[in-house]
Every structure is written in structure tokens, then in C-alpha cells.
Amino acid sequence: PERLNKKCWVSIFSNATLLTREICHKLIDSGLDQFIFSIDSTDPELNDSIRIGSDLNKIIANLKILNEVRKERKTQYPHLFATTVLQKKNYKELPKIIGEMAAFGIKELGVNYLEPYKKELLDTLLWYPESDVPKDLEAVLNESKNIAIKKNIVLKLVEPNPVSPECNINVPFILPNGDV
């Protein structure tokens, strides 16, 4: 189907574990523009330990189904976008994530750094303390940028160092309960 509104994109954030062929057809029929999911490693054990409740093998199988349905339906929608949360235990995975996601037609990969929400996560931070930043982090990020360029993926990296908080709301976000 054609995009419903050229000025507005409709996106769904999902862990992609519940996709079925029927749901993929419904997503396409709905006019959905973007399907966004999370992946934190190409190694199932590491990914699933970071994303509790995730199942990388199921995500990959479901993305294949979504791509098959898009191909059958002769549509590029919904575009596939992925997000990754980098931390000490997975930052070296970023080049592999980009390479593997390119095979699924990913248009964009958003990369964030872990914001600890509990004390146990402080040891996984990449950027703090500064004396503990991995020596090869910059090289891994540069390699990732080069792979993204070669694979024609928009790689969105955030500033690794904390910055002053800002609140700029320019895109409404609707929660499952209907709150905006």
C-alpha cells in the first residue's frame, strides 16, 4: 500500500518476538511506515542476557518472515529500523550487528549508551569513569561507521559523554495505554 500521509511517519517499537505471518500482513495492510526493534548482539546468549525476555533466534526468524511477506506483497513498507544499547559487554559487537542487520534491509541503526537505572549497571557503562573507557572504543566506532557507509545504513550514534539534559518534544509518542 501507498503511504497514508507523506508528512507523517507511523512507527511501532517492538521486540519482534511475537511476529507471525498473519501479523506481518496486518502491519503492511495498516500502512505502517517503520518497524523498529532492538538488538544488542549477534550472539544469542549475549543478546538475550542484555535484553531480558528477548530471544535473538526468534527475532531473526520473525524478521525473515516479515521480509518474505514484504517481498510477496511487493512493498518496502514497513521500513526496518534497529536500535542498540552499547555497554562494556557488547560494544565490540557493533560492527557485526551492522553487517548482519544489513542482510535484513535495515535502513537505520540507532545506537545509544546505557543509562543505568540501578546500581548494578554502573559497571557496564562505556563512558564512566573516563579512566575506564575501553581503549579500542573509538576504533570500534570508526569501523562501525565505515561498515554502515558500505552497507548503506544510516548509523545514528549519540554523544558518549553525558550532556546537559534537554527536553525537546517534536515527535509525539503514543504509549500502549493511549497516553501521549
Please count the other Cβ atoms lying within 10 Å of the Cβ belonging to residue 107: 15
pLDDT band with cut points at 50, 70 and 90 for residue 166: low
State the Cα–Cα distance between residues 96 and 85, nearest whole angstrom: 14
Percent with pLDDT over 90 in the chain = 48
> Residue 108 to residues 68, 86, 118, 143: CA-CA distances in angstroms?
20, 16, 29, 16
Residue 79 grid cell: 521500513
State the Cα–Cα distance between residues 83 and 27, nearest whole angstrom: 20
Residue 154 grid cell: 544510516
**Burial (CB count within 10 angstroms: exposed 0-12, middle 13-18, buried 19+), residue 99:** middle
Question: Looking at the DSSP assignment, which residues form a beta bridge with residue 155?
Answer: 109
**Closest to 51 measured CA to CA, from 78, 14, 21:** 14
pLDDT, tens digit (0-9, with 9 covering 90-100), for 94-122:
999 999 999 888 889 999 877 767 777 77
Residue pair 34/79 in contact by the 8 Å Cβ criterion = yes
pLDDT, tens digit (0-9, with 9 covering 90-100), for 117-161:
777 777 777 776 666 788 898 899 999 999 999 999 999 987 665
- Mean pLDDT value across the chain: 84
pTM: 0.79
What's the gap between Cα 79 and its chain centre? Answer: 12
The pLDDT, as a whole number, for residue 3 is 59
**Closest to 97 measured CA to CA, from 52, 155, 58:** 155
Which of helix, strand or coil describes residue 12? Answer: strand
The pLDDT, as a whole number, for residue 53 is 85
Q: Does residue 54 carry a pLDDT above 80?
A: yes
